[in-house]
Structure 1
Amino acid sequence: MLAAWLVCACVAAAHALRVGVGISDVTGPPAEIAFMGYAQLEQTGHGVHLRQFSRAFVLEDNSGGATERLVFVSVDAAMMGHGVRKEVIKRLQKRYGVLYGEHNVIISGTHTHSTPGGFLMDFLFDLPILGFVRETYTAYIVGIYKSIVMAHNKLTEARVLYGEAELLDANINRSPSSYLRNPPEERARYKYDTDKTLSQIRFVSPENRILGVINWFAVHPTSMNNTNKLISSDNVGYASILMEKELNGKNTLPGKGNIVCAFASTNLGDVSPNTKGPHCEFSGKPCDQEKLLCKLPKERCFASGPGRDMFDSTRIIATKLFQTGMEKLLCKLPKERCFASGPGRDMFDSTRIIATKLFQTGMEKLLCKLPKERCFASGPGRDMFDSTRIIATKLFQTGMEKLLCKLPKERCFASGPGRDMFDSTRIIATKLFQTGMEKLLCKLPKERCFASGPGRDMFDSTRIIATKLFQTGMEKLLCKLPKERCFASGPGRDMFDSTRIIATKLFQTGMEKLLCKLPKERCFASGPGRDMFDSTRIIATKLFQTGMEKLLCKLPKERCFASGPGRDMFDSTRIIATKLFQTGMEKLLCKLPKERCFASGPGRDMFDSTRIIATKLFQTGMEKLLCKLPKERCFASGPGRDMFDSTRIIATKLFQTGMKVLNEPGVDMTGPLGIKHQYVKMPEEEVAPFDPVTETFNTSTKVYGCLPAMGYSFAAGTTDGPGAFDFKQGTTTSNPLWNAVRDFIAEPTKEDIMCQAPKPILLATGRAKFPYEWQPKVVSCSVARIGSFFLAAVPGEFTTMSGRRLRNVIAKTAPEAKKVVIAGLSNIYSDYIATPEEYQAQRYEAASTIFGPHTLDIYLNKYVELTNALISSKDMPLGPEPPDLSSQLISLIPPVLWDSAPWGHEFGDCLKQPFKQYSYGDVVVAQFVSGHPRNSIRHGRWYATVERLESEEDDAWVTVFTDADWETKFTWIRDSKVMGTSRAEIEWEIPVGTPKGTYRIHHFGNYKYVLGGIYPYHGFTDGFEVS
């Protein structure tokens, strides 16, 4: 009888554990806040695809007399910050006293890279977010706290069962060359270079009802890449939703079920979900496995043209342009497509140079090549102008007496056909030349060859051109050739008009003494010439020759005009030639039989010049057409056709494997509940190094921690998300330029450099103080046990081999540990933890191992110490607490100023209605007038829902999907920052099996009134049918 009682008592003691589970929304601000993970400033939120949740598990054990409690929380966040955890504990203690505290609360981030940042309170981690974001910080605190309270209120008796299964094709090692640095004896113990085991504990009621499930599988939640702008819990978050829907019922909305299922992080440091592996961005070729560089350093990103490459495409297009549309710029040569370069830098410069030579040597080649010489019969003068003058003089002297005014002093005569005697002379002379001067011309056998000017004859053309040139004041632009006649304009519109004006003034005002005072006879004091016209000519000539020497070309006989439109006659020739080329004056071009007539470019021919110029444009100024990276990026892609499909595939694999384990008998993890925690100041630690071959600590020597520092390869990024600039994986040498930038921020000491070697320090974060601490020096370490299941909560990302070593030393320290699992990214984030051997390779994970090459050795020693304290029930001191930086935080993120609706609309108005009819697989799209999503985080409420009409008579609608479901996307679109207008676009992809009926999309939000206050609104679409 006594024996039976003892058995029952033992069984009761073994089942003294109580478990409660809770889930709460922790979604951060979904718009205009940068995501944490890829450190890309431009990756800011624009909506929601999958909401973030906090999944809490509270365990209580009363079997040992004193009550032990453990809180484990898995949060859909990039990692966990000390400030968030501290505030959550503060709120718990305000409600429950000392029941929960630093010693027994573990908060682990899933490490999704698609959620808002700005909550870590370490400057380096908040810097890509533009500082601290209180909305994110508050959202995480409130949601985590609510989930723990919910779990506390649902404590019920339960058992803990463990199960595991192998999962292949869901992860790869993204740094395999680093993994190979580990000792071969150690690597031989493992089949894969990543952990392929999915570990699971489930909490079951005495009635075998599942209360909650926690799964751990090593994979980065980076299926969603750094181009994603929608909040997403990524592959592990979606796996949680799938399992919760499966266990709670298909119609259960995310976050609303009683059964809570988490897929938590573990030693995922070097593990990627992008199972297709690294390849070059455009060529698709494999990357260099050591440095993950593409072997095509100059390959550019653009659509292929008609040729075999960009140069051939340029040639083909250029050829077509030359052949079909460039007539105005090209000489129309019949056949040959190439030409020799002229003496200048282009066709215009060559024209100028050749024109100069032609002008200087006599212009013979530019003159019309008449078969015989143009000539005139000699008149009474020295040339046709002088002959005209003599004949005109005689006509005036012999036949015009009767027309003279018979005044003693006044000169007068009847007006000729012109406005004055000079113009009349010009007109009469012109007519004489046109009608009666044939005898003066040589009888040329053919046609006289010169083009017509702008006037009615050569004299009028001369007058018009000279007038324009004189009137525009281009004296300085005249070429000063040694033999060219030229002069500046006088007071008139041309030189003839100027002569007339000056002569008139002289005659009218100062020439009285030269006139004979006879009543009838015209007489003048004898001037230097044979008559007044000749005297006028001689005086004018002398005036021009004696006062305008600087402007006159001293040619005795050459006819010349003032400058053209350019700075000199050659530049004028160039400008006119350009216009002639553009307007079709082929007759003025060099008529070569085959040569195409324009100057050479920088190459040996037009194609080579086109190639050279095109190359420069592609390399220097055509960024919009080129990929904006100096070299081709190397990154890994997931198994799907895009990042959404890859997320779905990996999540489905996780879910299916988790369900497989869940459906198999588990192993009872009987035994006590316990946890040990301590803060550790890593740079001050001095420990014995670990030998991975013998799996022992070498107590005869010591190694030390370093002040935090980031290496060069940290900036290179990973294949999941390439970094900026031209940093490379595996860099072990420094660059003076980047060192100068580093030293401007914080200069490392010689001791820092030696401690971190072979890491070249890019950022001495342990020395940086402005504006506050850049990275933590104090970390949080915990070891918990749930019966014979041991959980190591670590403050960072352990690589595959680092995690294996940690699990092994804990299992070796605690023989009663049937299973050891690592809970990654817990309580505080301190980047990566690579093995000392991997550290030598200085790939991304090693460059981000901030406490130096012996970081893992320190952790191994500390977790052995914590495990010993746990199994022996020994108290551990709290250790040095991290500093409180809450008063030093800064933020560069502007607040929401106001919202406004477009003219004629109100908030919630549907701008784009769905179609009337849809089928399975269709995507329904609707748009609404929206307020800024940052006005309200809306936890437990939604930005978007899909509703089905339940009763047309009562107009009763029921929510069937929310913005937390995979099938929906809520996208916020900013229209005008000044006006504060924006839109919400909501998509619903109709899944197979959706019941037929009438549906609508409902949008909810809050707007900020310009005069203050935040107000709710909502709106919905018209109904549409799904069939």
Structure 2
Amino acid sequence: MPSLMSRCYPLLLACLFACLFVSASPVRRAEPGLLVGVGKSDVTGPIGEITMAGYAELAQKANGIHLRLKARAFIFASESAPNRRVVYVSTDMGWPSYRTLKLVVSNLQAQLSPADAALYTLDNIMMSATHTHSGVGGYADNFLTQITNFGVTPGAREAIAQGVSQAIIMAHQDLAAATVTINKGRVENASINRSPTSYLLNPASERAQYTDDVDRDMLLLTVKDAQTGRMKGTANWFAVHPVSMNVSNERVSGDNKGYASYLWEAQQALAGNPTFVSAFGQTNAGDVSANTAGAFCVDTGVACDGGKGSCGGDLSKCLGRGPGYDIGGDQLSTEIIGKSQLAKAQELSTSAVKTLTGGVVDFRKTWISLPDIKLTGQTGLNATVCKAAMGYSFSAGTTDCPALSFSWQGDNDPNASNKPFWNFVRGLLKEPSQDLITCQGAKPILLATGEMTSPYDWQSNQLPYTIFMITRKLAMLGVPGEVSTMSGRRMRAQVLQQLVSDGTADADAEVIVAGLTNSYSSYITTWEEYQAQRYEAGSTAYGPNTLAAHIQVFKTLASSFKSGSLPPASPAFPIVSEPTDFNDVNFLTPIVLDTAPAGKKFGDVSVQPGAATYKTGNKVSAEFICAHPRNGGSDASTIAADGAKPLAALPGGASSTFMTVERQVAPNVWEIVLDDAVWDTKYLWRRNGVAESRCTLEWTVGGSFPVVAGTYRMRYLGRYCRLQS
């Protein structure tokens, strides 16, 4: 029988050889990982007789809350250079505002230490709008976008800036080693192209590369804590307009993207992960609608597209509708489109295929004067980028919300029957110069916005551009406008080609078009789509070469990663300082007095809920004598009254609320369980006479937030304004 040593000898010899082999091999150090922080805060702002930002319809006022608006922040840095950071913030608002971004940076400087504040500047923050069409207006930078809000609403920019800066501070405090993965998949039945005839003008060979006339792919980043594996947050980009809530809606809402974010975060909170943040960001959705049932004439049911012959020439009747609209209106449409995005995002989060490792986290940012750009390799008008101008079809709106009955999409006929009226309007404002007319080409100019400077710029001719690199696998383009489907495809492909050829990115890297970022310049279509002059093209401000200019800027920025610095200013790449601040106009009527009826007081119930036992899915409604909502709601420190238990913070995470749902836990003792920040509650204000108000509070029992059996009450919590003596 062999001895123990003789049996172990071959094993010892094998181990010796293995150790020699390992020691002789080069030692491989782990690539630096990523640091990621996430944060979320409320950006709802003032409401009450303020036109919403999106449809630009004067009659659509923000007079209530359906779902509070949020900012969701993600900070990325490399472990090898933790102070070189990039910040992406997806914000529930109609369009971005550079002046609001400047307030964000000022807030960070005031609220962080000097060393920490220096980490976040105007250069490394992307503030991207989801483009909800049910968000609060009155904060835009340029006069054209301010007109329907009667200028700038006092407190609007400040509220957004405070929320965005708070979300960034939370992400700053949350920054830690993380595992970041990428996945991509198709979202079916959640989007359609609302200008398919324009899309068909793109080259057949180019269209043949794609299966659809919209981008159905969702790109998802999943962030997990490197130590515990806990899911900290997700950010995804899917192209669809948040227009599920239609123009008749009076309650502030994040629409389908805001709902998808809310629902996933609520699910995670109920599962014990209350700090989870989920951003459903915007990308190249310029010609993409959520009204998947298509557009039809409301009187005949005949399909229409917003062209001159639609609905007998009355475009106001040509309306797109979302799924389930005939059953549950725009709220059901919002839920369906939102849940479609949510389902895909949750699926992708469990089957990630690519991990972001190694490389650096870096950024580039510049201001560009678009009319000064000369396009490389082009001559004559093909090399020219125009001053801003809006076409006649801009006045038509889209099938999501047609603007005027006597305007139509595809309006590029100088002799069309609607021209005399619009020519009169144009003559009152400003006749475009001949240079502008020549430069804009196929676009008949209605508003020469780039030449209009009273009371200040109607549209800026200078725009900010930002690009982020997050390892060698991901590039993010901060685009200051709404990008059409094919425009986004060209932008992604050409920037990726530049990054790969420079050795900056891997061939399998993803390029994200983060639409509506940091500033708003309306639309960006391809040269071919521009010729049709549908709404998107009529709103492509800088002429037929707008897309080519954007691509050239981003390719030049992309190439600067290789050189290590921005290229010098030149005629081909003009770097200009940001526009000068100005004194904003404001024609919004202030609130000077709130009154209650004789013998009544604020907060009295005028219509009680029906006496009944309510079950999950039932709706409870009550009406209160209330005050104008622009005075604001109540915060956590002031709502403990009438037996309500004190609480440190509101359950929905906002700083104030107009309503609560409370459960009785003992005689005359009530616990606050919901406020106006959840999908299940609704708050709506209406004026009653001159200075009186009525508010309706609604609660869908157990809609998205389960509640236990018991006795509940709803409470109104607004503030009133009294005359000063």
| TM-score of the superposed pair, with normalisation by structure 1 | 0.62
> Which is further off, 935-944 or 632-641?
935-944
Measured in 2, the distance between the counterparts of 1:23 and 1:284 equals: 43
Please name the residue that 2:158 is paired with.
138
Matched, 1:776 2:471: no
Please name the residue that 2:368 is paired with.
680
Measured in 1, the distance between the counterparts of 2:118 and 2:424 equals: 50
Deviations 1:216-239 (A, max 9, x none): 100000011111111011000000
Q: Structure 2: which amino acid aligns with 1:895?
A: P
Matched, 1:834 2:525: yes
Tell whether the 8 Å contact from 1:677 to 1:876 is kept in structure 2 after alignment. Answer: no
Tell whether the 8 Å contact from 1:121 to 1:885 is kept in structure 2 after alignment. Answer: no
Q: Structure 2: which amino acid aligns with 1:245?
A: A
Tell me which of 426, 437, 441 is aligned to 1:757: 441
Q: CA deviation at 1:833?
A: 0.2
Matched, 1:912 2:607: yes
Please name the residue that 1:99 is paired with.
119
Identity %: 37
Q: Structure 1: which amino acid aligns with 2:133?
A: H
SS in 2 for 1:160: strand
Please name the residue that 1:58 is paired with.
75
Matched, 1:748 2:432: yes
Task: Describe how 1:292-311 pairs up with structure 2 within 5 A.
Answer: 293-297=309-313
Please name the residue that 1:723 is paired with.
403
Tell me which of 996, 1011, 1026 is aligned to 2:724: 1011
Tell me which of 281, 288, 298 is aligned to 1:281: 298
User: Runs of 4 or more off by more than 4 Å in structure 1?
Assistant: 1-9, 698-702
Matched, 1:880 2:576: yes
Measured in 1, the distance between the counterparts of 2:43 and 2:196 equals: 35
Measured in 2, the distance between the counterparts of 1:966 and 1:8 equals: 54
The alignment's C-alpha RMSD in Å is 2.2
Measured in 2, the distance between the counterparts of 1:39 and 1:115 equals: 11
Please name the residue that 1:14 is paired with.
32
Measured in 2, the distance between the counterparts of 1:631 and 1:825 equals: 27
Tell whether the 8 Å contact from 2:68 to 2:676 is kept in structure 1 after alignment. Answer: yes
Over alpha carbons, which structure has the higher Rg?
1
Task: Describe how 1:557-956 pairs up with structure 2 within 5 A.
Answer: 630=314, 633-641=317-325, 642-670=329-357, 671-688=359-376, 703-734=383-414, 735-787=419-471, 788-815=473-500, 816-817=505-506, 818-876=509-567, 879-887=575-583, 889-917=584-612, 918-936=614-632, 939-949=654-664, 951-953=665-667, 955-956=668-669
Measured in 2, the distance between the counterparts of 1:3 and 1:139 equals: 60
Tell me which of 940, 960, 975 is aligned to 2:688: 975
Deviations 1:136-193 (A, max 9, x none): 1111111111111111111111121101111110000000000000000000000000
Q: CA deviation at 1:956?
A: 3.8
Task: Describe how 1:227-376 pairs up with structure 2 within 5 A.
Answer: 227-249=248-270, 257-287=274-304, 289=305, 291=307, 293-297=309-313
Please name the residue that 1:72 is paired with.
88
Task: Describe how 1:458-469 pairs up with structure 2 within 5 A.
Answer: none
Measured in 1, the distance between the counterparts of 2:684 and 2:619 equals: 14
Q: CA deviation at 1:940?
A: 2.0
> Which is further off, 872-881 or 651-660?
872-881
| TM-score of the superposed pair, with normalisation by structure 2 | 0.87
Question: Hey, which of these two has a bigger chunk of strand by percent?
Answer: 2
- Residue 159 and residue 6 in structure 1: after superposition, are their counterparts in 2 closer, same or farther (change >3 A)? farther
Please name the residue that 1:984 is paired with.
695
Task: Describe how 1:478-493 pairs up with structure 2 within 5 A.
Answer: none
Q: CA deviation at 1:88?
A: 1.1
Tell whether the 8 Å contact from 1:772 to 1:885 is kept in structure 2 after alignment. Answer: no
Q: CA deviation at 1:886?
A: 3.2
Please name the residue that 1:159 is paired with.
179
> Which is further off, 167-176 or 55-64?
55-64
- Residue 672 and residue 34 in structure 1: after superposition, are their counterparts in 2 closer, same or farther (change >3 A)? same
Q: CA deviation at 1:984?
A: 1.6
Q: CA deviation at 1:672?
A: 1.5
Please name the residue that 1:37 is paired with.
54
Measured in 1, the distance between the counterparts of 2:265 and 2:283 equals: 21
Q: Structure 2: which amino acid aligns with 1:975?
A: N
Measured in 2, the distance between the counterparts of 1:780 and 1:91 equals: 21
Q: CA deviation at 1:737?
A: 3.9
Please name the residue that 2:643 is paired with.
none
Measured in 1, the distance between the counterparts of 2:469 and 2:693 equals: 51
Deviations 1:77-112 (A, max 9, x none): 001111101121222234344321121011000000
Q: Structure 1: which amino acid aligns with 2:676?
A: D
Q: CA deviation at 1:960?
A: 2.7
Q: Structure 1: which amino acid aligns with 2:29?
A: C
Deviations 1:581-625 (A, max 9, x none): xxxxxxxxxxxxxxxxxxxxxxxxxxxxxxxxxxxxxxxxxxxxx
Tell whether the 8 Å contact from 2:185 to 2:348 is kept in structure 1 after alignment. Answer: yes
Measured in 2, the distance between the counterparts of 1:165 and 1:789 equals: 17
Tell whether the 8 Å contact from 2:657 to 2:676 is kept in structure 1 after alignment. Answer: yes
Matched, 1:215 2:242: no
Tell whether the 8 Å contact from 1:296 to 1:632 is kept in structure 2 after alignment. Answer: no
Please name the residue that 1:692 is paired with.
none
> Which is further off, 146-155 or 754-763?
146-155
Please name the residue that 2:15 is paired with.
none
Task: For structure 2, list consecutive stretches of 5 or more residues without a partner in the other structure.
Answer: 1-18, 570-574, 635-653
Q: Structure 1: which amino acid aligns with 2:547?
A: L
Tell whether the 8 Å contact from 1:224 to 1:644 is kept in structure 2 after alignment. Answer: yes
Measured in 2, the distance between the counterparts of 1:750 and 1:700 equals: 16
Measured in 1, the distance between the counterparts of 2:600 and 2:284 equals: 52
Measured in 2, the distance between the counterparts of 1:115 and 1:708 equals: 25
Task: Describe how 1:409-448 pairs up with structure 2 within 5 A.
Answer: none
- Residue 906 and residue 250 in structure 1: after superposition, are their counterparts in 2 closer, same or farther (change >3 A)? farther
Tell whether the 8 Å contact from 2:239 to 2:284 is kept in structure 1 after alignment. Answer: yes
